[in-house]
Amino acid sequence: MSSSSRLDDPEESFMTEVENFFNTAPPLKDHSVIEKKLKGFIERNSHASENGVSMKRIVCVTSGGTTVPLEQRCVRYIDNFSSGHRGAASTECFLKAGYAVIYLHRRGTCQPYCRSLPDDPLLECFESVNGSSVQVQQAQAEAVRKAIANHHAALAAGGLLKLQFTTIFEYLQLLKMIGIALRDRESRAMFYLAAAVSDFYVPWESLAEHKIQSAAGPLDMRLAQVPKMLSVLRKDWAPLAFCISFKLETDSHILLEKASTALKKYNVHAVVANELVTRKEEVTVVTTHGKTCIRREAGDDEMDRKENEKNTNTNL
Amino acid sequence: MSSSSRLDDPEESFMTEVENFFNTAPPLKDHSVIEKKLKGFIERNSHASENGVSMKRIVCVTSGGTTVPLEQRCVRYIDNFSSGHRGAASTECFLKAGYAVIYLHRRGTCQPYCRSLPDDPLLECFESVNGSSVQVQQAQAEAVRKAIANHHAALAAGGLLKLQFTTIFEYLQLLKMIGIALRDRESRAMFYLAAAVSDFYVPWESLAEHKIQSAAGPLDMRLAQVPKMLSVLRKDWAPLAFCISFKLETDSHILLEKASTALKKYNVHAVVANELVTRKEEVTVVTTHGKTCIRREAGDDEMDRKENEKNTNTNL
């Protein structure tokens, strides 16, 4: 009975899936602390004016990959590759353009203004002098100074709020909280969804409590699809916000078609299509008005050249 | 025919598995550069003397978790939770005790002498002064100075070699290279295997080339067991080296039994048994002479208290 009525109404069945996801997810730690911070940030930036308009625009930039735990007491998890460089770079641009930015990022990924620094700036950029004081190395001095100064200035100006996630459960609960909190901002809010969000997960209740044992031979796993929350963001959480999503594929043959499908299906304003290997050089922005391919000019950005070099080693 | 002969000889069948693993793994980038570095390090430390004995002891400390790619052009992978704090702390202790240390660690995990620092020391410990220079914050000054001074001193003294891995393929190829390179050092070499190594993987040839598509419903995955390379390390690569392995479980009921089984099965000198939730407070060292439980005294180490606080948020 219930399964036949579900089949009858895919919309209802989808909403049940969404509800199930949130009802069974492990609750967010510090939920109320984060919500208070978020509301304070939105409130303060509602009074700030921007270019003579009385309400500053707020963008939520998502960045980095989400994880999917394979055990409740989590030793193993599935992760999505993403350094967070695009989200960090975009955050810098939005701040420069006068937006207030909620930077919803994966713990430990790239921070705004730090893209040109080595992976481990403390050990690679600083030296100890006579064992008694610490000094930045000459060659890195300017990059380090800029990173720290710009980052602290952005935080001090009150236009940057950083929120962190690790799992898909944390990410989607935070996105929902931000969506609902920004609903009243209508078109003065934007979602810029650059995070690499898991498509598959193991529902919390189906997770093994303990570490999966390896003695029993090969491991068979069934992963369920994560409900496409972009639909819910567009329809329920913040329907009037401007919304840009990202599509990453490794196969260029299906990329643009998938981007066009996503544009219609989720009713977003733009989809940025990018291919894994060329993503730092070229993207295609797909809107209802058409497709625009954007290529980086040679020597465009010294910072990004350095990034590319760094990432060569972390990608298979 | 071939499958029946395999069943007849489990040893041969295991060695075939091991060979297959290495033959089908994506080859290590910079293989020859790393090998040259490693041999140079061993050579230099063979001439260094320690406490009047002419050949310095060398320990290979492994640290952090390995990943298992789920696609050849890797977007998704399975990861093993490990901050690398134990490996980093142990490296500091071995260096203090006069060993030369090969620190084989997961990219981006904890570095020796940096355990007490925040996750993002650059942005959390430094401030910019008048926008023109960079200064360490007073409260963190001593910790930062120590981290940089000790770390640079260890590298300058030539007793610390840092090698990095991300995937299980990189890790096992590096471990094999180090094992074989240390073979002649016999009992003046040690393996201290604190890394969280994947038990399951998808053989490279079975991996999907492209990103797995999510439209097709739930995802079924079959993961093969990673051959237990500890056997090969003990029998073939470096049979005379002293060898300590680690066993992490979430279920305390099976932990000690599994540690005892591992001790016999792999013929290692000691197994350090630890449970996920109490691992920073208590371990049991299992040897052929018995089991020794070691508990941290309250207030033992300020550094570790800070670590615990930090890790609370990253663990589910």
Q: Which residues of B touch A108 (CB under 8 A)?
A: 108, 119-120
Any idea which of A54-58, A175-179, B144-148, B163-167 has the lowest mean pLDDT?
A54-58
pLDDT tens digit string along A83-115?
Answer: 899 999 999 999 999 999 999 999 989 999 998
Eight-class DSSP state of B56: -
The minimal CB distance from B74 to the residues A144, A167, A316 is found for A316
- Report which of A46, A277, A228 is spatially closest to residue B74, judged by C-alpha positions: A277
B200, A218: Cβ pair inside 8 Å?
yes
Inter-chain touch A214–B223, beta carbons under 8 Å? no
* Residues of chain B numbered 186-205 and touching chain A (CB < 8 Å): 196, 198-200
- Per-residue pLDDT reduced to its tens digit, A67-87: 999 888 777 899 988 889 999
**Assign residue A131 a region: left if phi > 0, alpha if psi is -120 to 50, beta otherwise?**
left
Give the minimum alpha-carbon distance from B264 to chain A in angstroms, rounded to a whole number. Answer: 15
β pairing state of B242-249 and B270-275: parallel
| Per-residue pLDDT tens over the stretch B2-27 | 444 455 688 889 999 999 999 999 99
Nearest by CB: B76 against A69, A78, A167: A78
Quick check: A314 and B73 CB within 8 A? no
For residue A166, give the nearest of B210, B65, B312, B105 by alpha carbon: B312
- A49 has a pLDDT exceeding 90: no
The pLDDT tens digits for B188-213 are: 999 999 999 999 998 888 887 777 77
Q: Which pLDDT belongs to residue A48? A: 63
pLDDT at A243 (0 to 100) = 97
- Residue B259, number of CB atoms within 10 A of its CB: 22
3-class secondary-structure state, position B62: strand
Helices A10-24 and A168-182 pack at an angle, to 10 degrees, of: 110
A47 min Cα distance to partner chain B (Å):
27
**Which residue carries 């180090």 as its tokens?**
B178
How far apart CA B81 and CA B197 sit, in angstroms, is 10
Are β-strands A58-63 and A126-129 bridged in parallel, bridged antiparallel, or unpaired?
unpaired
Q: Which among B80, B119, B132 has the least Cβ separation from residue A75?
A: B80
Complex ipTM value: 0.80
DSSP conformation letters of chain A: -HHHHHHH-HHHHHHHHHHHHHHHSPPPTTHHHHHHHHHHHHHHHHHS-BTTBSS--EEEEEESB-EEESBSS-SEEEEE---SHHHHHHHHHHHHTT-EEEEEEETTSPPTT-TTS-SSHHHHHEEEETTTEEEE-GGGHHHHHHHHHHHHHHHHTT-EEEEEE-BHHHHHHHHHHHHHHHGGGGGGEEEEE-SB--SEE--GGGSBSSPPPSTTSSEEEEEEEPP-HHHHIIIII-TTSEEEEEEEES-HHHHHHHHHHHHHHHT-SEEEEEETTTTTTEEEEEETTEEEEEEPPTTS-HHHHHHHHHHHTT--
Q: B156 in contact with A at a CB cutoff of 8 Å?
A: no
Asked whether the beta carbons of residue B136 and residue A136 sit closer than 8 angstroms, the reply is no
Q: How far is B312 from chain A (nearest CA, A)?
A: 10
Task: Give CA–CA dist A196/A115, Å, rounded.
Answer: 18
Q: Is the pLDDT of residue A314 over 50?
A: no
Q: Considering CB atoms only, which of B200, B221, B225 is closest to A223?
A: B221
Cβ–Cβ gap B128/A119 under 8 Å = no
Of B81, B126, B147, the CB nearest to A77: B81
Which 77-106 residues of chain A touch chain B by CB within 8 A?
77-81
Quote the tokens at residue B148. Answer: 């940089």
Residue A156 pLDDT greater than 80, yes or no: yes
